[in-house]
């Protein structure tokens, strides 16, 4: 499998408030590279979000704004490239919110959600949260809500699911963005 696992953290409920992003690149079913950055949003931080991920305004004071980050990562978001996220609707909406806020062209890519793959493959679970799936599959998740840790976990979930079930169950779950 070839894909990029993505995770955003946000400063508040606004979809353009990304404050960190991680990408984990997978080629031939092997993790081959990682990318992580803090992002300086043009919004305020809400205390609830800070409690979740621990990122504070002072942490992003010297970080790039999203357009600078996009210059680096946009090659991954091309047609026919598969972007995977755990709760992909959230991460895809943050990406779309940031692109829209900065008047950047919408990204066109294929999307797959590991919440959906896990619901399909493990319907007996009481929930399909990242930490629950990681516990069951014995995937390390050291710092939940750290974008890089969550992206690694997401990549490993899909790779474990591929080992046990092959790629056929994923095909109907892939959507175009």
pLDDT per position as a tens digit, 30-45: 999 999 999 999 999 9
Residues 6+ apart with CB under 8 A from 105: 99
User: In this predicted model, what pLDDT tens digit does every residue of 124-156 receive, in sequence order?
Assistant: 988 999 999 999 999 988 877 899 999 999 999
DSSP 3-state of 11? coil
Domain boundaries, the chain: 3-176
Give Cα separations from 103 to 32, 71, 165 (angstroms). Answer: 32, 14, 41
State the pairing for strand pair 3-10/18-27. antiparallel
Whole-number pLDDT of residue 140: 87
How sure is the predictor about 79, in pLDDT bands with cuts at 50, 70 and 90? confident
How sure is the predictor about 11, in pLDDT bands with cuts at 50, 70 and 90? very high
Give the CA count within 13 Å in the CB-facing half-sphere of 156.
17
Q: How far apart are CA 19 and CA 9, in angstroms?
A: 6
Q: What is the fold of 3-176?
A: Nucleotidyltransferase; domain 5 (3.30.420)
Whole-prediction pTM value? 0.95
Q: How far apart are CA 96 and CA 98, in angstroms?
A: 6
80 versus 162: which is more confidently predicted?
A: 162
DSSP 3-state of 9? strand
């Amino acid at each position: 499998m070839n894909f990029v696992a993505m995770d955003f953290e946000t400063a508040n409920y606004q979809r353009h408030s990304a404050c960190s992003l991680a990408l984990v690149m997978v080629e031939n079913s092997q993790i081959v590279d990682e990318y992580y950055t803090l992002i300086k949003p043009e919004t305020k931080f809400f205390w609830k979000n800070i409690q979740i991920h621990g990122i504070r305004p002072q942490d992003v004071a010297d970080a790039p704004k999203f357009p600078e980050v996009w210059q680096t990562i946009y090659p991954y978001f091309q047609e026919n490239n598969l972007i995977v996220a755990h709760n992909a609707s959230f991460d895809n909406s943050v990406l779309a919110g940031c692109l829209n806020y900065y008047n950047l062209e919408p990204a066109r890519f294929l999307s797959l959600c590991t919440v959906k793959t896990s619901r399909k493959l493990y319907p007996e679970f009481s929930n399909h949260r990242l930490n629950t799936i990681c516990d069951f599959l014995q995937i390390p998740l050291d710092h939940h809500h750290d974008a890089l840790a969550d992206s690694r976990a997401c990549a490993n979930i899909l790779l474990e699911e591929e080992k046990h079930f092959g790629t056929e169950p994923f095909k109907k779950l892939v959507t175009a963005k």
